[in-house]
Amino acid sequence: MSLGTFQRALVDLTLAPRKARALRDGDESALADYPLTGRERDRILDIVRQPGMSVNCSLARGNRFEVIAETFPMTCVLLEPVLRELLDELWQDYLPANYQLTGEETAFAAIVRRKTAAGELPIEYLDEIFAYEVACREMTQRMRIQPGPDAMIEAAVEFQHSPDELLPPLSRLTAPPAGLPRGSYPARVILRGERFEVEILPAPGTSARHSTG
């Protein structure tokens, strides 16, 4: 089906800006896998030379990132110096498979998990904030399918730095201060409706405190 092939070529180029740029610059090998009619080929070559193609590519990346940033906002703040390269690497292999873009966050979590395990992301606070947001994501997914406005879900998370110091700036999408003292901060994360609370579990002889989520 030629129109289908044409549409596939256009989608692939939208999701691979480098490929679109190479084609624009004359490397027609990018079209080798698409049996196109002459008219369709001419159209693709015309389109990649239009500035609007770059806008399309950027908007597609923005839409994909929006899904990730909604789920892992704090992780993205901490990853900011390497985020662009990380997303390039992720999206080189992973293509969105549905209109809800639901796989984006899973694929992002997988690459962060793999790289942190390999020691490739030596970023202060990343491990514990990522673990916290993974827990929040799982709770949110459970809450979405759980009826009742008064539903409550809990999860345990272990911080290595004080959540009181980490979470308030990150919830405003700013980096926390560097060099916070390490320690053990077991916490209970509670989701009530759409609101998260973090209860820092008491050290011996003290009572629990609430932080923001």
Partner 1 sequence: MRSFVERSLHRLDYMAVIPDRGWIDRVPGAPQRFQMLPGAAAFLEEAACERPVVLHGIGLSICSAEIFDEEYARNLAGWADRLNSPWISDHLSFSRVGTGHEVNAAITLPVPYDREVLDLLIPRVRFFTGTPGRAFLLENNVYYFRYPGQDFTEEEFLNALCRRSGCGVLLDLHNLYTNSVNHGFSATDYLNNLDLAHVSEIHIAGGVSMMGFHTDSHTGPVLEAVWRLLEYTVPLAKNLRGVTFEFHESSFGLLGESGILEQIDRARSIVNRLGASANAVSHVAGNISAGPC
Q: For binding to partner 1 (CB under 8 A), which residues are involved?
A: 1, 3-4, 6-8, 10-12, 14-15, 39, 42-43, 46-47, 50-56, 58-64, 66, 95-102, 144-149
Rg (CA), the chain: 22
Largest alpha-carbon pair distance within the chain?
79
Contact 185, 173 (CB under 8 A): no
Whole-number minimum distance, CB 141 to partner 1, in Å? Answer: 9
Whole-number minimum distance, CB 164 to partner 1, in Å? Answer: 26
How many other C-beta atoms are found inside a 10 Å radius of the C-beta of residue 207? Answer: 7
Whole-number minimum distance, CB 63 to partner 1, in Å? Answer: 4
CB nearer partner 1, residue 8 or residue 209 = 8
Strand order in the sheet with 152-159: 152-159, 185-192, 195-200, 209-212
CB nearer partner 1, residue 104 or residue 128 = 104
CB nearer partner 1, residue 39 or residue 114 = 39
User: Residue 116 and residue 148: Cα distance in Å, rounded?
Assistant: 37
CB nearer partner 1, residue 104 or residue 133 = 104
